[in-house]
Copies of this chain bind each other. A is one copy, B any other.
Amino acid sequence: MIISKDKIQDLNQKGLAEQAESFGFLKLALDKKGVDAETIVQHLADFQVAIPSWALGAGGTRFGRFSAGGEPSTLEQKIEDIGLIHCLTQTAGAVSLHIPWDIPSDPEAIKQLADSHGIAFDAVNSNTFQNQADQTFSYKYGSLADRQQAVREQAIAHNQEVIRIGKALGSQSLTVWLADGASFPGQNNFRKSLQHTQRALQEIYSELPADWRMFIEYKPYEPYFYSTVIQDWGTSLLLAEGCGEKAFCLVDLGHHLPNTNIEQIVATLMMKGKLGGFHFNDSKYGDDDLTVGSIKPYQLFLIFNELVYGMNNNEANNPPLAWMIDASHNLKDPLEDLIQSLEAIQLAYAQALLVNTPALEEAQIQNDVVLGQELLQDAYRTDVRPLIREARLRRQGALDPIAAYRSFDVRNELVRERGLKTVATGL
């Protein structure tokens, strides 16, 4: 299914006047504060987030999975789904593949298909937390951290294969998420697990093309419940530094212990020039993988505040970040869920762009704690939706993507095309 730009423009018609009015009103209000709305709209229009290929079908929990209907069962269909999101939101201009779920049989054809949708290939992801039908050794007890050399070598080779596939598609980064860990005290030797992981990452790194980057993800628990080899940003940084200049840390918002101050981690990693990528989602308890911004939108804003500050004050030459959504869609239509996530990300970004940084700096120097809080809250409390709509409009996206999605009856159309019982690869 493809939605033409004309159809979107038609649909937008009836809302244009109201948008012009509300954008105009906000623009004026921002002007009085010395903020240029146009610059912010441009930033928002340029901002693109990668959609993971595994998030286009219904997600599940260990207790079960309820299919969404019309799920994509081929890589082509996944690209098509992202194309739908992108034409509506104009902010989903990239895909992040997961190998082996998405090995393209004809890379050139896939590249052309993606290109026709305006979609680039972001980081490729390896998978050594599940066994594949044809593999020799099991990852039940570990992969890059395993005690058996043969298992580690198989996992290293898989990662190197992922690099080759990504290269063929024009990707320029590899994300390594390692499930390796233990569910019981005594199961692993912490130190040996970490040392094996360091050496394995170095071997993968040695095959990294010169213009690639490697992202090392961390997570405190799940799927193992006593320890995880790369349990936190400190371990991730240690490993990245052990690999070299092209290795970076990746922050997934759901991969933290209760109450962690994530924005501070972001600030520290950018100060070190070692923040590589970002996995967006939201959560109340653990790695809940909920829609971005659905639980803790203020925390998301505070994180974006650090990201914007870091990008504007980049003394350590932190490279441009790889932005990606990484969520699960157990109850919602996956495409609607992703559209809501993209909206929440843009809102937080827009709010962060509104922060009066010089005044904040001055308040901090003066120990004016009250004013520091007021300045952040002033940005956060502003209704920035007119800015986001404006950015979409200027790229010919939909004024209201969810409404448009429903108006075009996308899900039913996909069910008609693909059937009700298709199941996308993923969790």
Contacts and interface: CB of A to CB of B under 8 A. Distances in A.
Contact of A290 (B184, B295, B298): B184
Interface residues of A, number: 106
Contact of A363 (B186, B220, B331, B363): B186
Interface in A192-238: 192, 194-195, 220-223, 225-227, 231-235, 237-238
Contacts of A302: 185
A385 interface: yes
Contacts of A185: 263, 294-295, 302, 305, 372-373, 376
Contacts of A220: 259-261, 285
A264 to B, nearest CB: 5
Copies in the complex: 4
Nearest to A184: B373
A382 interface: yes
A284 B225 contact: yes
Nearest to A258: B258
Nearest to A188: B364
A129 interface: yes
B231 A264 contact: yes
B294 A296 contact: no
A226 B261 CA distance: 8
Given A258-B258, A285-B222, A195 B365 contact: no
A298 B294 CA distance: 9
A383 to B, nearest CB: 4
Contacts of A191: 267-268, 270-271, 309-310, 313
A375 B340 CA distance: 12
B285 A61 contact: no
Nearest to A285: B221
A71 interface: no
A147 B367 contact: yes
A96 interface: no
A189 B361 contact: yes
A103 interface: no
A126 interface: no
B234 A232 contact: yes
A223 B364 contact: no
A373 B189 contact: no
Interface stretch (A41-49, A62-70, A79-87, A112-120): A62-70
A186 to B, nearest CB: 3
Query: Which of A291, A328, A375 has the most CB atoms of chain B within a 10 A radius of its CB?
Result: A291
A184 B284 CA distance: 10
Nearest to A270: B191
A194 B268 contact: yes
A306 interface: yes
A285 B330 CA distance: 22
A366 B310 CA distance: 44
Given A183-B290, A183-B330, A364-B147, A131 B260 contact: no
A227 B383 contact: no
Nearest to A364: B189
A187 B61 contact: no
Given A190-B306, A231-B264, A306-B190, A381 B347 contact: yes
Contacts of A100: none
A226 B284 contact: yes
A337 interface: yes
Given A63-B129, A184-B291, A194-B271, 18 more contacts: A62-B328, A184-B373, A185-B302, A185-B305, A185-B373, A187-B364, A190-B267, A191-B309, A221-B259, A221-B285, A226-B290, A226-B295, A231-B264, A238-B272, A291-B373, A336-B370, A337-B370, A340-B370
12 contacts: A63-B223, A64-B130, A184-B294, A184-B373, A185-B372, A221-B288, A225-B288, A234-B237, A238-B272, A285-B286, A291-B373, A382-B383
